[in-house]
Amino acid sequence: MNSIIFYIAALSIGICVFLFAWASILSSPEKADDNRDFMDPLPRLLKIVWGPVKMIEYYIASNLPFEYLDAIEQKLQKSGVSYVVSAEEFFSIRVVGSLISLLLSIYVMMVMDIFEPVFFLIAPILAFFFPLLWLSDTKKRRHKQVIRDLPVFLDFITMAVEAGLNLTGALQQSVEKGPKGPLRNEFSIILRDLRYGLTRSEALIRMGTRLDVPDVSNFVNAMTQSEKMGSSMASTLRIQSEQRRNERFQRAEKMAMEAPVKLVFPLIVFIFPVTFIILGFPIVMKFMSEGMF
């Protein structure tokens, strides 16, 4: 009985805190200066908890050390999530997720009529660090897509330059004709930086820093060196396009050669035992029917 009262009280307190934060952020527009004109729209699930997120951002996340927030911002930029949330908002999302997981664990234990104090620690900790794991996975998937799309965009840029356009016009054509994805967004940012007065080398270097992909870094270094030396931009682009395509083909060959090695473990652990059971079962049953076992 005491445990049930404890669960109800803890759950009620958590819900009250959540509703108070949500109501406070709605009633204090000066604290929720949320200018998202230059950012992507929020996911639907994130909109539900956006009030508490902004509340924690205003009172807690904005007071964190600059070095810590800068490290988070760099991770967000490399994973492409910086177009959705800032470093302060990302930290606030982690805190809100921990609070929600704590409330859910209390509710589950109350429904199942069990009391495990360890859940009060495990659930919030896992919820707090899960966004970092998700961010790392998003970064890996984004890098793979960038590597896959880079030869295509380089072909567009090369053909446009060889047709007589300058590099800015070629980038514009690649953005209009290229496939949707993170690389298309990055080339759009390059065009925006060029319109704001940055040189082509500075805009390309900024893109290489944001993506942190070796293939893109090689392309950026080649383009900046070509511009400094005054060599032909078209020939440099053609060489880069062929080199990136060859590297992609070599990576595909490497993955194909690694496939048999990766299949050894599931074959030994899962497939071979089942095969032996299927083949040996009729023999064992035959021996048992003849009284040999």
- Of the pLDDT bands very low, low, confident and very high (cuts 50, 70, 90), residue 30 is very low
pLDDT at 32: 45
Question: Which stretch of 29-33, 99-103, 117-121, 139-143 has the lowest confidence by average pLDDT?
Answer: 29-33
Is pLDDT of 95 > 70?
Answer: yes
| Topology adopted by domain 144-248 | Receptor-associated Protein (1.20.81)
State percent of the chain over pLDDT 90. Answer: 14
Q: What is the largest CA-CA distance in the chain?
A: 91
pLDDT at 264: 87
pLDDT at 91: 93
Question: According to the per-residue pLDDT averaged within each range, which of 128-137, 229-238, 259-268 is highest?
Answer: 128-137
pLDDT at 54: 85
Following CA atoms 62, 137, 202, 227 in sequence, which dihedral angle do they give, to the nearest 10 degrees? 180
pLDDT at 90: 93
Query: What are the structural domain ranges in the chain?
Result: 2-116, 144-248
Mean pLDDT for the stretch of residues 224-249: 85
CB 117, CB 85: distance < 8 Å: no
Following CA atoms 258, 261, 263, 269 in sequence, which dihedral angle do they give, to the nearest 10 degrees? -160
Whole-number Cα distances in Å, 74 to 82, 107, 147, 170, 216: 9, 37, 20, 29, 17
Q: What is the pTM of this model?
A: 0.74
**pLDDT tens digits for range 42-63:** 888 888 888 888 888 888 888 8
- One-letter identity of residue 9: A
What CA–CA distance (Å, rounded) separates 154 from 241? Answer: 5
Is pLDDT of 189 > 80?
Answer: yes
- Of the pLDDT bands very low, low, confident and very high (cuts 50, 70, 90), residue 288 is confident
Mean pLDDT for the stretch of residues 137-161: 90
pLDDT at 22: 55
Whole-number Cα distances in Å, 266 to 255, 256, 257, 273: 17, 17, 17, 10
pLDDT at 227: 82
Dihedral sign, CA of 191, 193, 199, 204? negative
DSSP, residue by residue, 230-285? T--HHHHHHHHHHHHHHHHHHHHHHHHHHHHHHHHHHIIIIIHHHHHHHHHHHHHH
